[in-house]
């Protein structure tokens, strides 16, 4: 580990030097820039591919739809093909392209309903140097089954190999054996600290407000860092620059609406999206109806809401600004008797500027804020307890990517983040006294990276990157190197071998109460005692396009070593602890497995089959004497089958079936009597636990179905989505409860284990519209 | 934290269903379970039982054939296998010696138990914890309960030592109910400050309420916390199951020195 000091000024100077260097480095020729847009709505389209049909050059539009093409390419005669999922391909000559600043794509209704998850063709995925990545667009997500009709992009990503959900009633998602806190979740390059609403039943991402999500499980480009196990990069959707549009949906338990409009036609726009659940309306009505029943326990009120906002402004041909904001809140209130209120939520904001630097490089600068906090209030009689925890981050990122016509591509950049953490701020008050306790901390995280790719379209392609990252807290700098390597070896025209090695550092740790993510977990910075987590991962894979590019097949194996993992020791004092790390224990983890995936990409029936065989283990010297144990999310077998079928122009049926080995839980092995010296006498026995993860629950399987009925609409599009979650009502195990039987004296005579399941079949119906 | 996790669980459980299963539990060897408290003026008494595999159909039986030896470093006393009722607290013990115990802070007390199966467990304890006195008792009318009064207790925490408390508020200590106050605290988050607790239960005018503040040893506090944690995690998947932190070497249970301050207040 390198330790050194630097000042903020030197960081700024460095940044300017790098950009100056980038300016010179890329000043090899001129470029032509254009914006790809939806012809109907005027929305900028990110991820559209511009492919030169004779040469091997291709480029994709970025998050604001812009593409920059080296003018050298215009010297040769060529034709180009502009394509994007859900749109009719558009072919034009170079001469024609040179004269336009906007490329408009027309929607292809047929293609929208046929095409499944990836934006790339089967062959495109084979020849892509990137491995271990999945991309899904909001449009595609809408076609897949959704719980209670609420489309959730994170839930759909959990159907991919190597990605697992926490299980019913447990939030978070787990990638290649890593923890829920080890996923770097970015919304427009801004870190999201808690992606869950309602114990993970919903994510914080409103599908109407996002464009697409890309998940990296391995071979992370060097611009990413900060978490060990995955990067989920989500792009929000810009508003229409052409006309006013209203999109929304009305469901059983939640509704949502988005309004988008040009501010200055063709130049600037905004989109505002909001949604809210109304569980609380139903529960309040139930509580009111039952309030006279003697033994009735009122159901706590719960709701969540969130708002997304984005505004784009194209200043001129070379400069675009956009502003994004998000605010979400979960609110939980118990009945007035016990007076418990819990709320939690994220707040995000970013200002982004994209500029074409001398028309040779695209430079994107992002200034952002991200915050997450929770607040728990509990009062009874004269006692009042308040617990708060928060993490706030202010940061800046600058990244430049070269626009070159050759096989060598470069990108470089740097970023800095200031974290302010309020860890378990505890306040107890009554009329006689009050006290406060907790821990506050701060830290500076920074990084600089360079990433290169060399791909001449021949047999071998290579990528290499280096990220230098660091963290400053407690008067100590910690600096580390994060190398990244990738390689692709074409095996004929339709198959390729791929390999990668990556090292990732994580400077913020989630002090979690359990191996499942909860809203009251707390973020904790790296210190001299709590060292940064880091992981090394090697991956090998085979990709192949089968049957005239109709099928895509991949097989990937990985091995990951994780170091400086943290957990709470048994009996830790978690809240109001002035030095929380004194209750941490430190250890290691490892995960390995094989993922296979086959996807049918064309035709009226599309879908995929994924299967993962994997292991995940943790070793802590202070837990079970260092004996390896299974975290709850260690799942040996994981299978997902996803299928969509377009019945006719009006009806699309989709379904997904999952099967997973049972989760590892800890059950008691023994019991003894403890009567206590005084106090309330219970003859309840006391369970004895030994090793963590000592019992595996029964396997989980579930079928979800969805039927989308397109309605006739004069002014836009309307549909009704009917969904069935857990269609055959499989009672998947959530946990094991033990019921005691007592004799007349109150002593326990027998204990019967019962498995507790959460959700039976849950129907959902949502009316969706876009005008 | 555990209370909070229960609150979070309520929504999930409201839609849950249960089904009985056959469980292939991991193997477990039974242990000697010990419970013995040393208290000034009290006679020596101990509860010995045997732990069992968790889903065993038998009752946790008292251990009848053990040799229980108590020592203060100078003298050794053997406790006899005889039933003894602690009427003050409503408890029952199966080994005793009718000798009034007088604590000495300078002494280390040891307990050794050997059963018929020749298993031996041992433990030691000292009266090392400082005794913290209740500073103030008050009563205030409760808003939620007409005619009810809450009893408030002010406790001054000494800054120089690490302190662990148990506070009990009830009409009678041998008649505890679910609403009676019984809380455990470590001074980790309020070291050196005064803190106060009000009773959850409401009392009527004329009631005499007993308030007892235990100053616990760390190992006793850890043990009780771990027992509560283990019991709670038995039906809550959102918390990490808690292992029992016992000071009984070779077995399970607690051998603890008890110190407390006790006061009464008449509600007026």
B183 in contact with A at a CB cutoff of 8 Å?
no
Q: Tell me which of A656 and A432 has the higher pLDDT.
A: A656
A572 in contact with B at a CB cutoff of 8 Å?
no
- Range name among A69-83, A144-158, A300-314 with the lowest pLDDT average: A69-83
A180 in contact with B at a CB cutoff of 8 Å?
no
Distance from the A397 Cα atom to the nearest Cα atom in chain B, whole angstroms: 37
A88 pLDDT exceeds 50? yes
Residues of A in Cβ contact (< 8 Å) with B238: 513-514, 516, 518
Q: What are phi and psi of A173, to 5 degrees?
A: -130, 160
| Range 712-741 of A in CB contact (< 8 A) with B | 731, 734-738
Q: What are the DSSP calls for A434-462, one per residue?
A: EEEEEEEEEEEEEEEEEEEEEE-SSSEEE
Q: Tell me which of A405 and A82 has the higher pLDDT.
A: A82
Q: Tell me which of B84 and A40 has the higher pLDDT.
A: B84
A670 in contact with B at a CB cutoff of 8 Å?
yes
Pick from B33, B198, B231: which is nearest to A673 by CB?
A: B33
Question: Which pLDDT score, from 0 to 100, does residue A118 have?
Answer: 40
Write the pLDDT tens digit of every residue in B36-60. 999 999 999 999 999 999 888 777 7
Question: Which pLDDT score, from 0 to 100, does residue A13 have?
Answer: 38
Distance from the B9 Cα atom to the nearest Cα atom in chain A, whole angstroms: 9
- Range name among A19-28, A736-745, B3-12, B170-179 with the lowest pLDDT average: A19-28
How far apart CA B167 and CA B169 sit, in angstroms, is: 7
Pick from A332, A514, A571: which is nearest to B238 by CB?
A: A514
Q: Would residue A69 count as lying in a domain?
A: no
Query: Of A467, A432, A456, A544, which Cα lies nearest the Cα of A498?
Result: A544
DSSP assigned state of A2: B
* pLDDT band (50, 70, 90) for residue A170: low
The first and second tokens of residue B110, run together, are 């040891």
Contact across the interface for B150 and A687, Cβ inside 8 Å: no
Query: Which ranges of A269-359 does DSSP label H, i.e. alpha helix?
Result: 279-290
Contact across the interface for B180 and A672, Cβ inside 8 Å: no
A519 pLDDT exceeds 90? no
Strands (DSSP E) along A620-698, which ranges? 637-646, 651-660, 664-665, 670-673, 685-688, 695-696
Write the pLDDT tens digit of every residue in A138-158. 877 887 877 777 788 888 899
- The alpha carbon of residue A765 and the mean position of all alpha carbons in its chain are separated, in whole angstroms, by 26
Name the superfamily (CATH) of residues B136-217+259-266: Interleukin-17 receptor A/B, fibronectin-III-like domain 2 (2.60.40.2150)
B182 in contact with A at a CB cutoff of 8 Å?
yes
How far apart CA A51 and CA A62 sit, in angstroms, is: 15
A577 in contact with B at a CB cutoff of 8 Å?
yes
How far apart CA A523 and CA A517 sit, in angstroms, is: 12
A513 in contact with B at a CB cutoff of 8 Å?
yes
**ipTM score:** 0.91
Residues of A in Cβ contact (< 8 Å) with B25: 667, 669, 695
How far apart CA A413 and CA A401 sit, in angstroms, is: 9
Question: Which pLDDT score, from 0 to 100, does residue B155 have?
Answer: 93
Give the Å distances, CA to CA, from A96 to A7, A49, A52, B69.
50, 17, 13, 100
- Contact of A128 with A112, CB cutoff 8 Å: no
Query: Which positions ≥6 away from A22 have C-beta within 8 Å?
Result: A357, A361, A363, A400, A402, A412
Mean pLDDT of chain A: 84
B4 pLDDT exceeds 80? no
Most confident listed range (A4-8, A174-178, A632-636, A739-743): A174-178
Instruction: Tell me the average pLDDT across B227-248.
Output: 82
B152 in contact with A at a CB cutoff of 8 Å?
yes
Instruction: Tell me the average pLDDT across A544-567.
Output: 92
A115 pLDDT exceeds 50? no
Assign residue A674 a region: left if phi > 0, alpha if psi is -120 to 50, beta otherwise? beta
Contact across the interface for A669 and B198, Cβ inside 8 Å: no
Distance from the B17 Cα atom to the nearest Cα atom in chain A, whole angstroms: 5
Pick from B23, B60, B91: which is nearest to A672 by CB?
A: B60
Question: Which pLDDT score, from 0 to 100, does residue B180 have?
Answer: 85
Write the pLDDT tens digit of every residue in A681-699. 776 789 999 888 899 999 9
Question: Which pLDDT score, from 0 to 100, does residue A7 have?
Answer: 40
Distance from the A67 Cα atom to the nearest Cα atom in chain B, whole angstroms: 48
What 3-state class would DSSP assign to B17?
strand
- Residue range B26-127 forms a domain whose CATH class is mainly beta
Q: What are phi and psi of A513, to 5 degrees?
A: -75, -20
How far apart CA B92 and CA B66 sit, in angstroms, is: 17
Question: Which pLDDT score, from 0 to 100, does residue A110 have?
Answer: 47
* pLDDT band (50, 70, 90) for residue A734: confident
Contact across the interface for B59 and A731, Cβ inside 8 Å: no
A744 in contact with B at a CB cutoff of 8 Å?
no
Q: What is the dihedral of CA A70, A75, A81, A84, to 10 degrees?
A: 10
* pLDDT band (50, 70, 90) for residue A305: very high
Contact across the interface for B237 and A734, Cβ inside 8 Å: yes
Contact across the interface for A342 and B177, Cβ inside 8 Å: no
Q: Would residue A138 count as lying in a domain?
A: yes
Pick from A432, A689, A691: which is nearest to B152 by CB?
A: A432
Distance from the B245 Cα atom to the nearest Cα atom in chain A, whole angstroms: 8
Distance from the A379 Cα atom to the nearest Cα atom in chain B, whole angstroms: 10
Give the Å distances, CA to CA, from B48 to A289, B87, B95, B217.
51, 19, 7, 21
End-to-end CA distance of chain B: 36
Structural domain including A344 reads: 8-27+114-770
Pick from B14, B182, B253: which is nearest to A679 by CB?
A: B182
Distance from the B74 Cα atom to the nearest Cα atom in chain A, whole angstroms: 26
In what side-by-side order are the strands of the sheet with B52-53?
A685-688, A670-673, B52-53
A250 pLDDT exceeds 50? yes
Q: Would residue A253 count as lying in a domain?
A: yes
Residues of B in Cβ contact (< 8 Å) with A518: 5, 8, 238
pLDDT > 70 fraction of chain A, expressed in percent and rounded: 88
Distance from the B214 Cα atom to the nearest Cα atom in chain A, whole angstroms: 11
Q: What is the CATH number of the domain that holds A539?
A: 2.40.170.20
A263 pLDDT exceeds 50? yes
| Range 72-111 of B in CB contact (< 8 A) with A | 89-92
Question: Which pLDDT score, from 0 to 100, does residue A10 have?
Answer: 41
Question: Which pLDDT score, from 0 to 100, does residue B106 have?
Answer: 92
Residues of A in Cβ contact (< 8 Å) with B173: 678-679
Question: Which pLDDT score, from 0 to 100, does residue A731 have?
Answer: 87
Tell me the β-bridge partners of A12: none
Number of domains within chain A:
1
Parallel, antiparallel, or unpaired: how do β-strands A183-187 and A230-236 relate?
Answer: parallel
| Range 293-312 of A in CB contact (< 8 A) with B | 299-300, 302
Question: Which pLDDT score, from 0 to 100, does residue A177 have?
Answer: 93
Q: Tell me which of B78 and B240 has the higher pLDDT.
A: B78
How far apart CA B252 and CA A676 sit, in angstroms, is: 13
Assign residue B41 a region: left if phi > 0, alpha if psi is -120 to 50, beta otherwise? left
Write the pLDDT tens digit of every residue in A662-681. 989 889 999 998 999 888 87
Write the pLDDT tens digit of every residue in A594-630. 999 999 977 889 899 999 999 999 999 999 889 999 9
Question: Which pLDDT score, from 0 to 100, does residue A248 have?
Answer: 92
A132 in contact with B at a CB cutoff of 8 Å?
no
Residue of B nearest to A578 (CA): B189
Question: Which pLDDT score, from 0 to 100, does residue A56 have?
Answer: 58
Residues of A in Cβ contact (< 8 Å) with B178: 680
Q: What is the CA radius of gyration of chain A?
A: 27
**What angle (nearest 5°) sits at the alpha carbon of residue A414, between those of residues A412 and A415?**
145
- Contact of B62 with B34, CB cutoff 8 Å: no
Domain B136-217+259-266 in the same topology as domain B26-127: yes
Question: Which pLDDT score, from 0 to 100, does residue A20 have?
Answer: 40
Mutate: best of A522, A674, A687, partner B, most B CBs <10 A: A674
Domain boundaries, chain B: 26-127, 136-217+259-266
Q: Would residue A316 count as lying in a domain?
A: yes
Residue of B nearest to A737 (CA): B235
Query: Of A446, A347, A348, A346, which Cα lies nearest the Cα of A396?
Result: A446
* pLDDT band (50, 70, 90) for residue A533: very high
Number of CB atoms found within 10 A of residue A288's CB: 10
Mutate: best of B196, B215, B224, partner A, most A CBs <10 A: B196
> Which residues in B233-255 are b (16+ Cβ under 10 Å) and which e?
bbebbbbbbbbbbbbbeebbbbb
Contact across the interface for B26 and A735, Cβ inside 8 Å: no
Distance from the A477 Cα atom to the nearest Cα atom in chain B, whole angstroms: 29
Q: Would residue A402 count as lying in a domain?
A: yes
Pick from B4, B12, B258: which is nearest to A169 by CB?
A: B12
Instruction: Tell me the average pLDDT across A125-137.
Output: 87
Q: What is the CA radius of gyration of chain B?
A: 21
Instruction: Tell me the average pLDDT across A74-85.
Output: 72
Query: Of A631, A633, A638, which Cα lies nearest the Cα of A612?
Result: A638
Give the Å distances, CA to CA, from A259 to A140, A242, A244, A270, A595.
21, 13, 7, 8, 41
Instruction: Tell me the average pLDDT across A515-519.
Output: 66
Q: Which residue has the tokens 């260097």?
A: A21
Pick from B22, B54, B254: which is nearest to A751 by CB?
A: B54
Q: Would residue A34 count as lying in a domain?
A: no
A28 pLDDT exceeds 50? no
| Range 65-84 of A in CB contact (< 8 A) with B | none
Most confident listed range (A11-20, A83-92, A591-600, A744-753): A591-600
Write the pLDDT tens digit of every residue in A192-223. 999 988 777 788 999 999 988 999 999 999 99
Pick from A519, A577, A737: which is nearest to B235 by CB?
A: A737
Instruction: Tell me the average pLDDT across B176-203.
Output: 87
- Contact of A617 with A636, CB cutoff 8 Å: no
Contact across the interface for B198 and A672, Cβ inside 8 Å: no
Distance from the B170 Cα atom to the nearest Cα atom in chain A, whole angstroms: 9
- Range name among A180-184, A433-437, A529-533 with the lowest pLDDT average: A433-437
Element (H, E) at B232: helix B218-232
What 3-state class would DSSP assign to A309?
strand
Write the pLDDT tens digit of every residue in A34-73. 778 777 666 677 777 777 766 656 677 776 677 777 776 7
A134 pLDDT exceeds 70? yes
Distance from the B106 Cα atom to the nearest Cα atom in chain A, whole angstroms: 24
Q: Which residue has the tokens 């000042």?
A: A7
* pLDDT band (50, 70, 90) for residue B221: very high
Query: Which positions ≥6 away from A200 have C-beta within 8 Å?
Result: A165, A166, A169, A170, A171, A172, A517
How far apart CA A321 and CA A312 sit, in angstroms, is: 6
């Amino acid at each position: 580990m390198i330790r050194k000091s630097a000042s903020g000024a030197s960081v700024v100077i460095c940044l300017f030097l790098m950009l100056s260097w980038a300016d010179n480095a890329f000043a090899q020729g001129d470029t032509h820039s254009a914006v790809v847009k939806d012809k109907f709505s005027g929305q900028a389209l990110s991820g559209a591919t511009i492919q030169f049909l004779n040469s091997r050059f291709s480029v994709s539009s970025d998050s604001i739809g812009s593409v920059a093409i080296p003018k050298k390419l215009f010297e040769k005669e060529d034709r180009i093909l502009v394509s994007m999922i859900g749109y009719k391909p558009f072919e034009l000559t170079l001469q024609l392209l040179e004269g336009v600043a906007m490329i408009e794509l027309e929607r292809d209704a047929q293609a929208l309903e046929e095409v499944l998850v990836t934006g790339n063709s089967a062959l495109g995925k084979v020849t892509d140097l990137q491995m271990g990545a999945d991309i899904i667009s909001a449009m595609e997500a809408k076609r897949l089954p959704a719980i209670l009709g609420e489309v959730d992009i994170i839930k759909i990503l959990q159907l991919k190999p190597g990605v697992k959900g926490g299980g019913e009633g447990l939030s978070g998602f787990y990638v290649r054996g890593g923890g829920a806190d080890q996923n770097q979740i970015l919304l427009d390059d801004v870190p999201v600290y808690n992606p869950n609403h309602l114990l993970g039943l919903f994510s914080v991402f409103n599908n109407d407000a996002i464009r697409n999500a890309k998940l990296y499980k391995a071979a992370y480009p060097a611009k990413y860092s900060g978490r060990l196990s995955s990067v989920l990069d989500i792009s929000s959707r810009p508003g229409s620059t052409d006309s006013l549009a209203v999109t929304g949906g009305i469901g059983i338990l939640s509704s949502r609406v988005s309004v988008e409009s040009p501010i200055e036609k063709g130049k600037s726009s905004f989109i505002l999206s909001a949604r809210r659940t109304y569980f609380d309306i139903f529960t309040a009505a139930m509580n009111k109806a039952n309030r006279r029943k003697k033994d009735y326990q009122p159901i706590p009120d719960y709701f969540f809401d969130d708002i997304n906002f984005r505004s784009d402004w194209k200043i001129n041909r070379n400069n675009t600004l956009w502003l994004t904001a998000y605010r979400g809140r979960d609110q939980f209130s118990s009945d007035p008797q016990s007076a418990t209120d819990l709320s939690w939520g994220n707040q995000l904001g970013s200002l982004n500027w994209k500029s074409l630097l001398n028309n040779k490089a695209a430079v994107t600068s992002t200034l952002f804020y991200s915050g997450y906090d929770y607040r728990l209030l509990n009062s009874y009689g004269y006692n009042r307890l308040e617990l708060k925890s928060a993490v706030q981050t202010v940061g800046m990122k600058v990244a430049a990517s070269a626009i070159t016509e050759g096989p060598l591509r470069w990108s470089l950049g740097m970023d800095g983040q200031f974290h302010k953490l309020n860890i378990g701020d505890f306040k107890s008050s009554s009329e006689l006294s009050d006290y406060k306790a907790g821990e506050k901390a701060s830290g500076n995280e920074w990084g600089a990276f360079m990433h290169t790719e060399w791909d001449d379209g021949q047999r071998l392609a290579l990528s290499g990157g280096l990220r230098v990252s660091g963290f400053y807290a407690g008067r100590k700098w910690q600096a580390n190197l994060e190398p990244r390597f990738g390689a692709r070896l074409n095996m004929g025209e339709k198959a390729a071998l791929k390999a990668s090695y990556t090292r990732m550092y994580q400077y913020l740790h989630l002090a979690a109460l359990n191996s499942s993510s909860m809203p009251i977990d707390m973020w904790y910075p790296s210190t001299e005692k709590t060292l940064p987590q880091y992981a090394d991962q090697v991956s090998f894979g085979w990709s192949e396009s089968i049957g005239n590019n109709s099928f895509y097949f991949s097989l990937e194996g990985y091995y990951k070593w994780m170091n400086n993992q943290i957990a709470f020791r048994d009996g830790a004092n978690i809240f109001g602890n002035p030095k929380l790390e004194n209750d941490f224990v430190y250890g290691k983890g490892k995960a390995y497995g094989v993922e296979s995936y086959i996807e049918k990409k064309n035709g009226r029936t599309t879908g995929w089959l994924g299967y993962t065989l994997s292991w995940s283990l943790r070793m802590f010297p202070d837990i079970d004497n260092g004996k390896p144990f299974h975290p709850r999310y260690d799942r040996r077998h994981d299978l997902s089958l996803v299928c969509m079928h377009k019945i006719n122009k009006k009806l699309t049926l989709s379904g997904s079936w999952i099967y997973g080995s049972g989760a590892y839980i800890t059950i008691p092995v023994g019991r003894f009597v403890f009567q206590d010296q005084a106090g309330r006498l219970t003859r309840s026995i006391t369970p004895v636990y030994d090793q963590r993860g000592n019992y595996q629950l029964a396997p989980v399987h579930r079928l979800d179905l969805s039927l989308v009925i397109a309605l006739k609409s004069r002014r836009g599009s309307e549909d009704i989505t009917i969904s069935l979650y857990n269609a055959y009502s499989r009672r998947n195990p959530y946990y094991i409860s033990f019921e005691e039987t007592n004799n007349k004296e109150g002593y326990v005579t027998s204990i019967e284990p019962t498995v507790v399941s959460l959700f039976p079949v849950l129907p959902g119906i949502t009316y969706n519209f876009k005008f | 934290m555990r209370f909070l996790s229960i609150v979070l669980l309520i929504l999930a459980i409201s839609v849950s269903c249960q089904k009985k299963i056959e469980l292939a539990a991991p193997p477990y060897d039974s242990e000697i379970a010990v419970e013995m408290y040393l208290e000034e003026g009290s006679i020596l008494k101990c509860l010995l039982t045997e732990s069992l595999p968790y889903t065993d159909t038998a009752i946790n039986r008292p251990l009848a054939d053990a040799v229980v030896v108590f020592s203060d470093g100078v003298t050794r006393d053997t406790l006899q296998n005889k039933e003894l009722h602690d009427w003050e607290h409503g408890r029952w013990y199966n080994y005793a010696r009718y000798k009034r115990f007088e604590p000495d802070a300078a002494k280390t007390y040891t307990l050794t138990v050997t059963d018929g199966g020749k298993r031996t467990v041992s433990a030691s304890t000292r009266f090392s914890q400082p005794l913290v006195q209740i500073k103030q008792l008050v009563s205030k009318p409760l808003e939620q309960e007409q005619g009810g009064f809450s009893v408030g207790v002010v406790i001054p925490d000494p800054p120089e030592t690490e302190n662990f408390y148990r506070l009990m508020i009830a009409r009678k200590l041998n008649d505890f109910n679910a609403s009676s106050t019984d809380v455990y605290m470590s001074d980790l988050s309020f070291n050196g400050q005064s803190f106060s607790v009000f009773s959850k239960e409401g009392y009527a005018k004329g009631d005499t309420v007993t308030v007892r503040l235990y100053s616990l040893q760390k190992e006793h506090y850890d043990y009780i916390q771990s027992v509560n944690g283990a019991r709670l995690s038995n039906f809550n998947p959102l918390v990490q199951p808690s292992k029992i932190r016992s000071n009984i070497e070779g077995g399970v249970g607690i051998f603890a020195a008890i110190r407390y301050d006790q006061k009464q207040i008449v509600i007026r």
